[in-house]
Amino acid sequence: MKRFSGKAVLLAFLAGLLFAGGFWFGRAGGPFGPSYAEPGGEPPTAGGTAAPASGTVGDGKAAVAPIIPQAGSGSSIIAEMVKKAGPAVVRIETKIPARGAPNAQDFFFGPFPFSVPVPNQPSGSIGSGFFISDDGTILTNNHVIDGASDIKVYMSERKDPLSAKVVGRDPELDLAVLKVEGKGPFPYLALGDSEKMEVGDWVVAIGNPFGLDHTVTVGVLSAKGRPLTVEGKQFKNLLQTDASINPGNSGGPLLNLNGQVIGINTAVSAQGQGIGFAVPSDSVKEVLNDLLTNGKVSRPWVGIGVQDMTQDIANYLGISTTKGAIVTQVFDGSPAAKAGIQPYDVIVQFDGQNVTDAQSLVDLIQKSKVGQVKKVLVMRDGKLTPLDVRIGEKSYN
């Protein structure tokens, strides 16, 4: 066996290190990711995204470089967007007359937490909002201004607050439109297309949590079409996000990276963290014109409470079907009461359409127009009874 001197072994070891080092650091960026300081390294693109590597990895797919801020600018896409969108976001402070119990507005974020309402004493709340036109029109949550006798709007670019009046409100979607008394033009935000947003897209919330002006939080769109019930109020189509939302964010915008409003921040989960909800911009667009021109949204109303049929209920009523919606309550003076609908009636058809459960009945009523007369087929005492009901208008007083 051929023997090598210690000197020869050491030289061979050093030669191996040089070869391996040259191979390793000749690759893009070394073991800790791309290094754009190397000769020939590709700089990040203007949009803040590193240029994709030209080679391939593993299965032959193009290598994708990580997203990093634009080199040398000290900024990013989000920071630039916030600079442009931020001035249009406002802080809203209200005064609420003396009341004997907490106002209905408390079901979402309630008053500013450091100002606890005292029975029979005036109170106030703090929320957020944003301009939607240069004439001073503002969009916010209804619960931010509900019951307010005085509304003040604070802008980041103006020292003194502006007084505002309510133009219209829709408690159903928790929306309110305000108009400030002041000279414009005002910076404003455009309503984007919430339907085009994908789960996992980046979103940005700007608001005034706990009165901390223009706080920016970033997250992703966690889900779409979320149903939520709060204090008996049912929402069917909310956006869910993990962007941090806190008391005072109510009414502020949820933005895409283009600075367009894709949601109005509305609620948070009290049981968890990173679970916030926003009214989709597409839902806002559907009612905005009514709020601006009529001050309200005309919504159909029949005046009944219903629940799903079950086998136990069917057995109790002595009927064979579990389809339909059983009437649990009829409001005095309501269209349903005038039509002769009674508790324990099982509504099986509405306007010629079969009713499978309570939600299907609600959907059919919501598609109706105020003033229309609809035929209703109910099961009563084992017999089918036809009734005519004239659709009323829902009141929020």
Q: Where in the sequence numbering do the catalytic residues fall? A: 143, 174, 250
User: CA nearest 139: which of 177, 101, 190, 169?
Assistant: 177
User: CA nearest 35: which of 20, 53, 21?
Assistant: 53
Is residue 104 left, alpha or beta, with left meaning phi > 0 and alpha meaning psi from -120 to 50?
A: alpha
CA distance 130 to 207: 9
Buried b (16+ CB within 10 A) or exposed e, 185-195: ebbbbebbebe
Residue 124 · residue 115 · CB < 8 Å: yes
Rounded (5°) CA angle 153-251-69: 100
Tokens 């001050």 sit on residue? 295
List phi, psi (to 5°) of 193.
-105, 100
**What is the separation, in whole angstroms, between the first and last Cα of the chain?**
102
List phi, psi (to 5°) of 378.
-120, 150
Rounded (5°) CA angle 152-157-161: 20
